Structure 1
Amino acid sequence: MIQIGLVGNPNSGKSSLFNALTGLNQKVGNFPGVTVDKKTGNTQLTEQLAATIIDLPGTYSLYPKRGDEWVTYKVLMEQDTDVKVDMLVLLADAANLKRNLLFVSQIIDLKIPVVVALTMMDLARQKGIEIDIEGLERELGVPVVVVNPRKNKGIPQLKKAMAATATHQYRIPSRDFITNKELAPQAVDAVKEEIAGLSDYKAIHYLINHEHFQLSPAEQDLIEGKEKAFNFNPTKTQAEEILQRYARIKGIMQQTVVEPDPLHKSLFTEKLDKLLLHRVWGYIILLSVLFLLFQSVFLIAQYPMDAIEWTFGYLGSWLSSVLPQTWWSDLLTNGILAGLSGILVFVPQIMILFGLITLLEDTGYMARISFLTDKLMRKVGLNGKSVMPMISAFACAVPAIMTARNIENTKERLLTILVTPLMSCSARLPVYTILIGLVIPSKKLLGFISLQGLVMMGLYLLGIVLAMLISYIAKWFIKIKEKSFFILELPMYRAPRWKNVGTTMVQKAKIFVVDAGKVIMVISLLLWALSSYGPADRMSNVEKQYAALKASQPANVDELEREENSEKLANSYAGILGKSIEPVIRPLGYDWKIGIALITSFAAREVFVGTMATLYSVGDDDSGLLLREKMQQAKKADGQPVYTLATGISLMVFYLLAMQCMSTLAVVKRETRSWKWPAIQLAYMTGLAYVMSLLAYQLFS
């Protein structure tokens, strides 16, 4: 059993080859930064030789800028204590060979046994590129094998070359790709004398990055001393190295690669980019695309979401009619079943959203969106890649936060995750709809502009503006010093891979159901328990009171049962909690019943409507209009209406800004691998919601 590292530039087909070699079903994508963890799998090279394939994060060169690139770099420099590789399989994109050969040349000079797997040959042929494989192999001095992992072509030949390299039938080139020693001759010799077994090129990397290596303090001081003694300049050395490598690569390309006229090759892409990246039309087209994306998520997802809700509603009613009225049947229908419904109802939106985003990625337009918006986003501490998560959050923050993985810079990714939930997700729509109907008159401005529609749009715009403001403020407090490089390859326009779209949709849904679903179920069961049980004396008094009323008023049993349920909720632990926080929320214009809704809404915002229906004793068969009428008639202890304009606006602002979504917090924890950031998010959003709601209530009172 040998260890083989799988390396290459992002978008070179590395994940696809890993799947083909190991048979494991991993994420396949074409956006830089998708592979962020080390993945392993076994393969059989020959009858006598097996290998563990280690899929390392994609990187463009041996000069890491991002965290995932450092993972690969440390493995290649033998500084990772967990991962040691005997040889490498290096993927090179035939359609972008010049850029890929830079990394190939650096690996050759590290003196690690390597096989070059040449991918994207079909795309290269479409671009009119012809490559002399034997000539390329001769110039590089390492085996080169053409593979198409998507179609499982070239895999046997690659395994044969891997086995031959592992058994030393192919030898490491004795001659460097470039004369590395001449870049810093005295410093290189000095480091090689002190640390045995280094190649000239590896010695240069010890001089540049030794602070990140696992060396003794004495060795660190020694290398630092050599740097100063011989005036070693890392930046100048790196620049000279890259120039020399590209000069040699240019010569190899001239001898082994036939390329078409570059003017003809880029004609279609350039014409399209002139329109899509235009200073005016580019933004108009972008807004149109995002509008269609936003509308499609709602329109297409509406039908399966309605079907899921109807199915669970029917199933709940059926179970309630056939099961005995016991605590375990209530737990099953109102706890477990309601929890499952809260998880699965979002699956259509997640699948459709990621399907559409994958289409944008595969066609090449996603990179253009990031390019267009980078200048604006950078001013508030974000970058162009933050746009899609924020736009996606209008449907649901859970998948939107998952897409933030594509942002390489740690600080910008964290800022994006922290502000993305401020976008008004679809779960807020039921809350907005009922509250706007309650407190905003149905008027038309100028005869055709709906006042209620303007308020709805204003809520969405307020979320965007505050997200930008919070990001601008937070960037001064997050002390991560990682430098931001917005390096983005603008890919060729091409037809989407429908299989990849389907695979991504299924995998994202699976991640949501399995990971975030666990937390949702736990919270749902906890809320059921808090809402179903209370102090024994209180619950007993309610039961005795309504038992007497039912005996004296047999004609009103149904109405009395609804009132009893509402009274039990008021005396449950959740109700007690609602009344206990009433002094805190009274300045916002809220009563204890709204307090209960705020608490239950922390599982999911749309629970607000269901909680109101229960509190105001509205049966399941009543319409939304009847609920609105009940809420309109609700009075405070002093006889004043509960839902005034000030209270309604305050409540809408609170639901816009508060972090009332346990699944979002679960995903933030999963993406950041820490409870620190979800805690910060919960604290700042709840605090912001309180302050802004208080201001809104005072302003409109």
Structure 2
Amino acid sequence: MKADIRVALVGNPNTGKSTLFNALTGLNQKVGNFPGVTVDKKTGISQLPDGRRAEIVDLPGTYSLYPKSRDESIVFSVLAERDTELTPDLIVVILDATNLKRNLLLYTQVADLKIPVIVALNMIDMANKGGITIDTALLSKKLGVSVVPVSARKLEGINELKQAISYANKIALQQDSIDVRSVAPELISDICEEVKTNNPYFALQLAHQHETLKFLKPEESDRIEALEHKHSFHSQKAQATETIARYNYINDVLYDTVKTPAAAHDESISNKIDKILTHRVFGFIIFLGVLLFMFQSIFAWSSYPQSLIEDGFVWVEGLLRGVMPEGPLADLLIDGVVAGLSGVLVFIPQIAVLFAFISILEDTGYMARVTFMMDKIMRKVGLNGKSVVPLIGGFACAVPSIMSTRTIENWKDRMITIMVTPLVTCSARLPVYTLLIALVVPNRNVWWIFNLQGLALTGMYLLSLLSAIIVAWVMKFVLKARERGYFIMELPVYRMPRWNNVLFSMFERSKAFVLQAGKVIIAVSIILWVLSSYGPGDRFKNIGTKYSQPQIVKTMTPDSLARVISTEKLENSYAGVLGHVIEPVIKPIGFDWKIGIALITSFAAREVFVGTMATIYSVEGDADRIESVQDKMRNAKNPDGSPVFTLAVAFSLMMFYAFAMQCASTVAVVYRETKDWRWPAAQFAYMTFLAYASAFLVYTLLR
């Protein structure tokens, strides 16, 4: 059903715009891309008090209509282009009630475009708590628009805001903030005549941004460019003149509408906390402690639910073997689909804990502090401070993190960030690490609540960050560019995490992980089962003939005979042949042909490794003995009877997975962001080299 009114949300970063979007739309939202670009577009439906349905469009956060990044350029494009599927009927400008002076700059620019506007005065509870008094009625009168106090985090004022949206078409247009024509009178008049508009600020923005606006025809852009030369227009000087005029207007507006306490200049609680958490020494020690606690918790808190899931799959496999007749269909379902799925679903608790911590760190404002602390280090290796955001986001997934590099203006900084972000340990590596660490690292405490397994996992995460920084430093000298990057970031005040948001994030991200990984794993598991259960030529027939001879049958128990036959069939299957082909290449790093199969299948997605191991050892194993994935790998033996997964092999595998580019989605998004296959090809090549070299080094040292 089509919406009755389209509403765009506009605001500075860290004003609670996304929180307000969620409050207005609930779960009735979807994510796509803005037309022609890869910038995310979030839209949702809100039910208004008068019965109408409003389509809410969440525009990227920006400090001004003058863009500094691709995301910010979307805002003016959407607001300026008329009669499209995104053209808003109404704009809700979100203002931070604790910092109105800064926020009102964007408001005055948006208001001068003469699209109906209302103001959502967010974080009003924080302003009241800080002793800031705002006369909203007088502010509304001075601006000429409705001003609605809200607290999006606490869901306060949401109904009043919906009511204001309902009445938006019944209120007068907002007042002019400045005399726009005085900035460049002759040029604005000529552009107004050229593009047939009576809005002087729209004409002025065309003078500034016509080269990047896709809705302008090339000949229109050329004529505007000619008018700029005719009137000797200087964009930066015009922006400065405009900004000064706007702040003069803002000062007049705020003079008798906002009262701040006399002690407002004193240190806020956030500033006092920052003296400790962002300290040049203690800040990094605290951050390391947070990481240690986080990864320790991943093991400790998820162990019990993991055991329940493992026991559940063992019960399901036993039940299916009891009710289904023996044959290819039962083997496919049990050894292929169920075994493959168990390798993913068993790690849901660990994924959920990881995303819960990331959500809490983001919600409290601590993640922004980590970004701030890492800025100096980033600059030394040739990166922009904004590069930290994708790198930290890489702990969850490299795909959205690489897409977030669009906020980095400097080309060189952006390309280096794209090239090193996949080195950061993502959630897809977590099942591989936790499984292998649990196999070879003792679950023994070494200090207080920290044990060896948690320390090993922390080490893998720190290694990924360190390797990303080192590779970035090398690329600093490889890539050449004259641009200089800069880092501007506002530190939000500390807040308690929104626990409903944390739970929602855990559920949504875990669901996305399972659905995305599950599709690939089921497909790979079925293909792998077929490749493992059938072989070329008469190999399987010859094996059956060989072990049907009486002299062999008499020397072995039925269980031993069944295991020998299944092992030899697996080795002669299509999967076994493929594994043996690559075995000479991977033998120096401690991997046999079975692990080689897992390496090949997990190039689709890293987490497929666990499902592949489960499938391979289910096909090879005793049908009467039902085990969890961990047990199957722990009991895996070499021909000489030694365990397959020794300390050297396990850590060699982890090093390979730490560096190898085993993610088809990441390769695709790197191409999409760079529009050149040479970048993902170079990335794949250098990461594969690092993976092999590091695995070889670790295996050589530990065996």
Relative distance call for 1:301 and 1:391 in structure 2 (3 A) is farther
Is 2:205 the counterpart of 1:205?
yes
Deviation, structure 1 residue 416? 5.1
Task: Give deviations 1:51-100, integer Å, cap 9, x for gaps.
Answer: 43333222222112232222222011217944222221222221221121
Q: How far apart are the structure 2 equivalents of 1:261 and 1:671?
A: 52
Task: Give deviations 1:260-299, integer Å, cap 9, x for gaps.
Answer: 1354653322222112121112222221122212222222
Cross-structure match for 2:43: 39
Q: How far apart are the structure 2 equivalents of 1:654 and 1:586?
A: 13
Task: Give deviations 1:405-439, integer Å, cap 9, x for gaps.
Answer: 665336466345322248974513544676789xx
Cross-structure match for 2:545: 544
CA contact (8 A) 2:339 2:611 kept: no
Cross-structure match for 1:513: 514
Relative distance call for 1:484 and 1:40 in structure 2 (3 A) is farther
- TM-score, with normalisation over the residues of structure 1? 0.83
Is 2:339 the counterpart of 1:338?
yes
Deviation, structure 1 residue 118? 1.7
Amino acid at match of 1:350: I
Cross-structure match for 1:527: 528
Amino acid at match of 1:185: P
Cross-structure match for 2:422: 418
Cross-structure match for 1:87: 90
**Structure 1 stretch displaced more, 108-117 or 569-578:** 108-117
Map 1:664-683 onto structure 2 (within 5 A). 664-666=663-665, 682-683=684-685
| 3-state SS in 2 of match to 1:170 | coil
Cross-structure match for 1:286: 287
Deviation, structure 1 residue 568? 0.9
Amino acid at match of 1:573: Y
Decide which of 407, 427, 430 is 2:432's aligned counterpart: 427
Cross-structure match for 1:633: 640
Is 2:172 the counterpart of 1:170?
yes
| 3-state SS in 2 of match to 1:5 | strand
Is 2:140 the counterpart of 1:141?
no
Cross-structure match for 2:472: 471
Map 1:300-699 onto structure 2 (within 5 A). 300-380=301-381, 382-384=383-385, 399=397, 408-409=407-408, 411=415, 414-415=418-419, 417-421=421-425, 425=430, 427-431=432-436, 463-473=464-474, 484-548=485-549, 552-553=553-554, 556-586=557-587, 592-599=593-600, 604-606=608-610, 630-631=637-638, 633=640, 653-660=655-662, 664-666=663-665, 682-693=684-695
Deviation, structure 1 residue 332? 1.3
Amino acid at match of 1:604: V
Relative distance call for 1:222 and 1:685 in structure 2 (3 A) is same
Deviation, structure 1 residue 573? 0.9
CA contact (8 A) 2:345 2:514 kept: yes
CA contact (8 A) 2:291 2:458 kept: no
Task: Give deviations 1:603-650, integer Å, cap 9, x for gaps.
Answer: 534468658867997876699799679449369xxxxx9999998886
Deviation, structure 1 residue 545? 2.0
Q: Which runs of 5+ in 2 are unaligned?
A: 32-38, 409-413, 443-450
Relative distance call for 1:434 and 1:42 in structure 2 (3 A) is closer
Relative distance call for 1:288 and 1:421 in structure 2 (3 A) is closer
Q: How far apart are the structure 1 equivalents of 2:393 and 2:307?
A: 21
Relative distance call for 1:121 and 1:190 in structure 2 (3 A) is same
Relative distance call for 1:209 and 1:108 in structure 2 (3 A) is same
Decide which of 101, 115, 121 is 1:112's aligned counterpart: 115
| 3-state SS in 1 of match to 2:196 | coil
Q: How far apart are the structure 1 equivalents of 2:151 and 2:83?
A: 30
Q: How far apart are the structure 2 equivalents of 1:626 and 1:455?
A: 19
Relative distance call for 1:502 and 1:560 in structure 2 (3 A) is same
Relative distance call for 1:457 and 1:494 in structure 2 (3 A) is closer
| 3-state SS in 1 of match to 2:261 | coil
Relative distance call for 1:398 and 1:681 in structure 2 (3 A) is farther
Q: How far apart are the structure 2 equivalents of 1:128 and 1:261?
A: 9
Deviation, structure 1 residue 587? 5.6
Cross-structure match for 1:242: 243
Deviation, structure 1 residue 334? 1.6
CA contact (8 A) 2:423 2:464 kept: no
Relative distance call for 1:459 and 1:51 in structure 2 (3 A) is closer
Deviation, structure 1 residue 141? 1.9
Cross-structure match for 2:134: 131
Cross-structure match for 2:36: none
CA contact (8 A) 1:90 1:114 kept: yes
| 3-state SS in 2 of match to 1:52 | strand
**Structure 1 stretch displaced more, 140-149 or 402-411:** 402-411
Cross-structure match for 1:447: none
Task: Give deviations 1:449-470, integer Å, cap 9, x for gaps.
Answer: x999999998766544433233
Deviation, structure 1 residue 112? 1.4
| 3-state SS in 2 of match to 1:208 | helix
Task: Give deviations 1:306-359, integer Å, cap 9, x for gaps.
Answer: 321222123213322332211111111122212322232222122211211222
CA contact (8 A) 1:616 1:630 kept: no
Q: How far apart are the structure 1 equivalents of 2:126 and 2:44?
A: 28
CA contact (8 A) 2:532 2:574 kept: yes
Decide which of 110, 120, 124 is 1:121's aligned counterpart: 124
Relative distance call for 1:598 and 1:479 in structure 2 (3 A) is same
| 3-state SS in 2 of match to 1:117 | strand
Equivalenced residues, count: 668
Deviation, structure 1 residue 683? 4.7
Q: How far apart are the structure 2 equivalents of 1:577 and 1:72?
A: 52
Deviation, structure 1 residue 533? 2.0
Amino acid at match of 2:343: G
Q: How far apart are the structure 1 equivalents of 2:25 and 2:80?
A: 25
Q: How far apart are the structure 1 equivalents of 2:173 and 2:460?
A: 66
Is 2:72 the counterpart of 1:65?
no
Amino acid at match of 2:221: Q
Q: How far apart are the structure 2 equivalents of 1:549 and 1:382?
A: 71
Relative distance call for 1:95 and 1:658 in structure 2 (3 A) is same
Deviation, structure 1 residue 499? 1.6
Deviation, structure 1 residue 698? 8.1
Cα root mean square deviation, aligned: 4.1
Cross-structure match for 1:191: 191
Relative distance call for 1:400 and 1:522 in structure 2 (3 A) is same
- TM-score, with normalisation over the residues of structure 2? 0.82
Q: Which runs of 5+ in 1 are unaligned?
A: 29-34, 438-449, 636-640
Q: How far apart are the structure 2 equivalents of 1:228 and 1:580?
A: 67
| 3-state SS in 1 of match to 2:424 | helix
CA contact (8 A) 1:436 1:648 kept: no
